[in-house]
Structure 1
Amino acid sequence: MTQKQLPEEFYPLLEELQATDFVLVELTLYLDTHPHDQAAIQQFNEFAHYRHQLKLRVEEYYGPLQQYGNSYSATPWNWNDSPWPWQI
Structure 2
Amino acid sequence: MSEERSLPKDYYECIEELQAIDFVLVELTLYLDTHPDDLEALKQYNTCAKKRQELKEKIEQRYGPLQEFGNSYSSYPWKWATTPWPWQI
Q: If the length of structure 2 is used for normalisation, what is the TM-score?
A: 0.88
- Tell me the alpha carbon deviations over residues 15-72 of structure 1, each in whole angstroms, 9 at most, x when there is no partner: 0000000000000000010111111011000000000000111113331111122111
Following TM superposition, by how much is the alpha carbon of 1:81 offset from its aligned partner in structure 2, in angstroms? 1.9
- Pick 1 or 2: higher relative contact order, CA cutoff 8 A, min separation 6: 1
Which structure carries more helix by proportion? 2
Task: Indicate the residue corresponding to 2:52 in structure 1.
Answer: 51
Structure 1 runs not aligned, ≥5 long: none
**Alpha-carbon contact 2:5-2:88 (below 8 Å) kept:** no
Structure 2 runs not aligned, ≥5 long: none
AA in 1 matched with 2:29? T
Does 2:73 match 1:72? yes
1-side partners of 2:77 and 2:12: how far apart?
Answer: 24
AA in 2 matched with 1:55? K
**Alpha-carbon contact 1:2-1:82 (below 8 Å) kept:** no
Q: If the length of structure 1 is used for normalisation, what is the TM-score?
A: 0.89
